[in-house]
Amino acid sequence: MPADKELDETILDDEARRYYCSAMAALEKEKVPFLVGGAFAFGRYTGIIRHTKDFDIFLKKEDLPAARAALEKAGYRTELAFPHWLAKAYHPGGEYFIDLIYSSGNGIATVDDSWLEHGVQETVLDRPCLIIPPEEIIWSKCFVMERERYDGADVAHLLRSCADQIDWQRLLDHFGDKWRVLLSYLVLFGFIYPEMSGKIPASIMDTLITKLQADQPAPAGAEKVCQGTLLSRQQFLVDTQDWGYKDGRLPPTGRMSAEDIADWTEAITSRK
């Protein structure tokens, strides 16, 4: 696994480092289970260093109240930004913040015990902690295809660095009936890195291609559903708002409520 000491030692200023370390210490003191994600985890796996003014902490939704209480006790203001996936904790100076993440913006990648069970032991900011497993990073990033943000390159870089470490069956299980999304990225990986296409197990490609060959179109008269909204919260709104498609983020294809979708859509203008 590539080292990422530069991110810890040179990019962060002292105040940010103290804030993030204090937050981790506060959660540990109150025995709140969590994993570190974002640029810190991505850098550990790929060696790609990014400047960031936020710190991503992943935890189960049921642990969010305890996490907020611990951080508020440590002197940090918290807020529930989006009830279906995200809360925030703010440094008193306002320049830095922590994202408390328990799902994904599309409601798909919900944090559960398996994230913690497969967390990777690492050291972040000189503190031992668990970082998000590569399978969960890939799973969540595969669904980010916004006009202003596309995580396809991140997925390719993670596959390049971690293909030999990945529990492929776990990754396949995460995608479930949305396996076409994973297949699309694996095909692109072979295009991006032709000499490394063999890093993707042939058994996984065979499984997905067999699924594709066996897949049958929806029967005539079936409900029109657009699952593009699971990939981009904005670019497929015309389908659901003007063209009569059911939003794929709603059950049974998705996990969001109509209220969650409205809240998340309203935030587009502010890019929250």
Q: What average pLDDT does this structure show over 185-202?
A: 97
- Give the residue carrying structure tokens 């904005």: 234
Predicted confidence (pLDDT) at residue 224 exceeds the cutoff of 60: yes
pTM of the model: 0.93
* β-pair partners for 36: 57, 131
Q: What is the pLDDT of residue 272?
A: 63
Of all residues in the chain, the percent with pLDDT exceeding 90 is 86
Predicted confidence (pLDDT) at residue 4 exceeds the cutoff of 50: no
- Provide φ and ψ at 221, rounded to 5°: 85, 0
Please report, for the chain, the start and end positions of each structural domain, with discontinuous segments joined by +: 5-132, 152-214, 225-265
* Fold exhibited by the domain 5-132: Beta Polymerase; domain 2 (3.30.460)
Q: What is the pLDDT of residue 3?
A: 46
Considering the chain, what is the average pLDDT of its residues? 93
pLDDT tens digits for range 131-186: 999 999 999 999 999 999 999 999 999 999 999 999 999 999 999 999 999 999 99
CA–CA dist 86, 102 (Å, integer): 6
Q: What is the pLDDT of residue 226?
A: 97
